[in-house]
Structure 1
Amino acid sequence: MADNLLYAKIIKAKWALRLMFVLQLPLFSSLNLFQTTSRIPTKRTLFQLFQQAAVLSFMKKQAKKEQKEVEEEGLCCCEYVNRHGKRSHIAACCCDCEDLDDACDRFFKREPQKPESLSQIATVVSDRIRVPWLWGGAQKLDLSIVPPLILLPALLHLAALHFLLGIVVLMALPGLVLWYYYFTHRKKGRTLFFLSLALFSLAYMYYLFIWEVLPRGDVGRVELVAVTSGVILTLLALLHTKRDPGVVRLDNDDVHSTVTYYAPLPDRDSSFNGGRQEVSQTAASRAGSTEQEGAELESSRRNWCSVCRVVRPPRAGHCRICGVCVLRLDHHCVWINNCVGQANHRSFLLTLVFFLFTSLYGISLALQSVCPRQNVLTALLYCPGVYNQYSTALCFTCAWYSSMVTGGLLHLLLVQLINISHNVTEREARAALREKTARSAYWGLVVDTGVYTQGLRGNWSEFISMGDKLKPASPADLV
């Protein structure tokens, strides 16, 4: 009798836990408290589950309470809200780090470290490195922007000491950058390393142009104004490219509609509703309405994004790095730390053009100054006496570095021009090559899917005018 009573209590507790699991699913799912088992939990297991659930519920309430206090009182310039939702201070950055203490204890006791201990320590350190800010409290500082600020000047000055060091450094730089790219690309995480490297390279090359090349007297005012204007135009175009790439958002008008098309289909009239199409059934078309609805349902299911919870329009894609769906997604560019889509593709192309013209012109001026007796086209390969002075060697090394960067961006610009001429995005080209559904030439440089092409003039006309069809983004949506 007592066993039956105990069994009934355990069953009731089990169903109570299931109800709590439904009500507080995020808490239990994050800890993996429930596992697939057919055994009845013991009293001790039930007590541990209730205890952990109570602790998590209390911590969640405390975090909400502190967040509410922060919203009401505000933060001072040195305070911030940490990754647990609690108020913290910059002065306490070295306090209360259980992960670091545990790792140190294991190190001194010669015990093996936990697999996730180093990543947890890195997460805590990156969360606590802050810069005091007057509005909104201390701002988080991304550590990935620091290495380019230190390594680039150091390596370029090292390469200027001797031509053998220059060869080693200039050959190692692309390898290091590619290694870091594949390392971060495998984790599908965002990083400011490449954006920091791009901006600091541009700023540092301009600084050396002003302080090393200009005092030599071979550059006039017109050349200086041209280079300065090119740098300013490049930065302005980059700033515009960093805006919203065209994120797919769910409009209020589309909540109750079954299917909304964002691109005109050949068998539908799209002259109404601002380019969107409304399907009206007539007596003649009711016979095939079932098949049509089935095709539309299948298309919606195929274009459904489970992460963003939206139906992607044609040619839209989901970026796993940014975590959003982008209209006419071309690719995610690590050099701008943003996606290139329908809204910023034109400004991205303009940024490449401005940078390449500025870089090529600056390289030619620098080579004419340090190698006056040589032709600009051959000065990079043969410039006798350039390592006799450290200043000329530094300018020559920077000219080589700029030439390598310019060569890579020239290839990127060429690929973009070819894709635009065939009305294909980089994402569509890679998918077509992978599925072998497109014609390719010149080792995959030219890819023609033949799906959206309208001829050379029509493709470029669509590219130039495609950003005008979008709604202007609000200031809160800017990247």
Structure 2
Amino acid sequence: MVKRLQPGLISGVREPLCCCEYINMHGEKTHILGICCDCEALDDTFDKIFKCEPVPDSTVDKLLSVLGDRLRVPTFFGAGAVKVRPDILTPILVVPSCLYLATLHPVMTIAVFAFMPCFIVFFHALWRRAQQDAPTFFFYSWGLTSVISAYVVFQCFVVAFREVLLWEILMVFTMMLVMFYFLYLTRRNPDLQRIVLKPRQGHKRTQSNMPHIKTMKPSSSSTSITIAETSNMDSNVKWMDSRTGAGKAEGPPRSGFCKICDAYITVRDHHCVWINACIGASNHRYFLLAMLMFIITGSYACHLTFTTICTPTMYFDWFLLPNDCRWLYADFLTSICFVTALYAAIGVSCMCVAFIYQFALISQNVTAHELARARGLGLVSFGGLFAQDNPNNHGLIRNWVDFWLSTSGRSGLDAYKEAL
């Protein structure tokens, strides 16, 4: 019987690994400097590319597996080089590199900003191909890296012009802290529910007749609910009724099942990949506040940046707006400030669109999950933005008061548990 090598255990003798050594997926001791050495999949891939031949899917899968195993960082605790997730490390390397390349020329700025969304789509497709249904931190890492990079550029380069006042710097810093605080509250408690099915009398429950139900481990942030197993969804069931995607089980009122979180969410709105968390009754308010703070902070920081690198002009003795922006690429200091502010402005614009969408949903007391189901049943109007025959819609003012003050998600859940 051959023993597999473990980290720190070489030839049956416990021996600490060097900071750059590790045990690969074949149980062999190797060094991180050999990341591109002795890789048959890499050789085959480039050989096919140079010959203008299609790369087999098996070669691509093998290459991704090898890169995932060899992508490591050194440690100094005797454990050797530890593995790093590619979906976390890639944005940390790509975002600053793209911002730097965009400072070289206006054409490069356009090319880089066109490349970024294409790269995001390509990497995500590649990750789904290799990991299938495994959750990814790629979007969360990309967004976090973008925000931190923009703030670092503001503090290190924009402030260096000595045009921004101290109270303005403190204002940006404070708003950043508030935004991250709301982000922390949003991610802290997504209100996951552990669903336990109670089979019907005389019906044997098997995995074959319930392929969509998965066993979940209890956690401190999850709620355990026992629900009755139901038959297939009736054709008269409306979009606002709480059902699973396959219609096999009836969940709590207005709940939705998230395949990524593998759990039910109370009053589920959607799963936000940019913060890697589900949005439901317990964190929807914090999510909206985080979006609002992102828009305010980004807009204010962009305004300070543009009025610093461009010659500003005062309008109506109140509004200071940039006027002369002819020397944006004169030096690296100016160009990096402009490119980063432009990147932040694009992000703020996208966030404004998402905020308006959330405003429309809350105004009619409907979630994105419910609206998507309503579209599938043709119960929408105005381009699919407004739900028809929505029993939860109590008027604009009442809907917003309920959103901020009531705990409809919790009270609905308690009422459902009492009804059982």
1:279 is aligned to: none
The equivalent residue for 2:277 is 338
Q: Cα gap change, 1:406/1:127 in structure 2, threshold over 3 Å: closer, same or farther? A: same
Question: Does the CA contact (< 8 Å) of 1:329 and 1:340 recur in 2?
Answer: yes
What residue in structure 1 maps to residue 243 of structure 2?
A: 303
1:210-245 Cα offsets, whole Å, 9 max, x none, are 111112121111111110011111222222222241
Paired residue for 1:422? 364
Give the whole-Å Cα distance in 1 for the aligned partners of 2:399 and 2:243.
24
Deviation, structure 1 residue 362? 0.3
Q: How many residues end up aligned between the 2 structures? A: 365
* Equivalent position to 1:385, from 302, 317, 327: 327
CA RMSD of aligned residues (A): 4.8
| 1:330 maps to amino acid | D
Distance in 2 (CA, whole Å) between partners of 1:232 and 1:90 is 42
Q: Is the 8 A contact 2:176 2:297 kept in 1?
A: yes
CA distance, structure 2, for counterparts of residue 102 and residue 386 of structure 1:
44
Equivalent pair of 2:269/2:369 in contact (CA under 8 Å): yes
- In the alignment, which residue of structure 1 is the partner of 2:159? 214
Change (3 A) 1:117 1:424: same
Return the index of the structure with the highest Cα Rg.
1
Could you give the per-residue CA deviations for residues 182-205 of structure 1, whole angstroms, max 9, x where no partner exists? 665785542222111111111111
SS of the aligned residue for 1:373 comes to strand
Name the CA shift for 1:104/1:227 in 2 (closer, same or farther; >3 Å). closer
Structure 1 residue 452, shift from structure 2 partner:
1.9
Greater helix share, structure number: 1
Q: Do the aligned partners of 1:303 and 1:312 also contact (CA within 8 Å) in 2?
A: yes
- Give the whole-Å Cα distance in 2 for the aligned partners of 1:373 and 1:92: 51
Residues 121 and 333 (structure 1 numbering): CA distance in 2 closer, same or farther, change over 3 Å? same
Match of 1:412 among 343, 347, 354: 354
Tell me whether 1:155 sits opposite 2:98 in the alignment. Answer: yes
Identity over aligned residues, as a percent?
Answer: 27
Rounded Cα–Cα distance in structure 2 between residues aligned with 1:116 and 1:437: 44
The alpha-carbon distance between structure 1 residues 92 and 230, as it changes in their structure 2 partners (threshold 3 A), is closer
Distance apart, 1:327 and its partner CA: 2.3
Aligned partner of 1:432: which letter? A
Give the counterpart letter for 2:105 in structure 1: H
In the TM superposition, what is the alpha-carbon distance from 1:412 to its structure 2 partner? Answer: 0.6
Greater strand content: 2
Alpha-carbon distance change, 383 to 304 in structure 1, aligned in 2, over 3 angstroms: closer
Query: Structure 1's 174 and 446: CA in aligned 2 closer, same or farther, altered over 3 A?
Result: farther
User: Partner amino acid for 1:355?
Assistant: F
Aligned to 2:187: 242
CA distance in 2, matches of 1:135, 1:424: 53
CA–CA separation in structure 2 for the residues paired with 1:94 and 1:463: 55
Alignment of 1:167-246 (within 5 A): 167-181=110-124, 187-246=132-191
Q: Provide the residue aligned with 1:401 in structure 2.
A: 343
Quick one: which amino acid aligns to residue 176 of structure 1? F
Contact 1:422 1:448 survives alignment (8 Å): no
- Unaligned runs of 5+ residues in structure 1 are 1-57, 67-75, 259-292, 471-479
- 1:29 alignment counterpart: none
Asked whether the 8 Å contact 1:371–1:383 carries over to 2, the reply is: yes
Structure 2 Cα separation of the partners of residues 455 and 321 of structure 1: 33
Alignment map for 1:60-139 (pairs within 5 Å) = 115-123=57-65, 125-127=67-69, 129=71, 132=75
Per the alignment, do residues 116 and 467 of structure 1 end up closer, same or farther by CA in structure 2, a change over 3 Å counting? farther
Q: Is the 8 A contact 1:80 1:87 kept in 2?
A: no
Which of 371, 393, 396 aligns to 1:456? It is 396
Deviation at 1:468, TM superposition (A): 7.8
- Distance change (3 Å), C-alpha of 1:89 and 1:188: same
Matches within 5 A, 1:267-282: none
Q: Which amino acid aligns with 1:149?
A: I
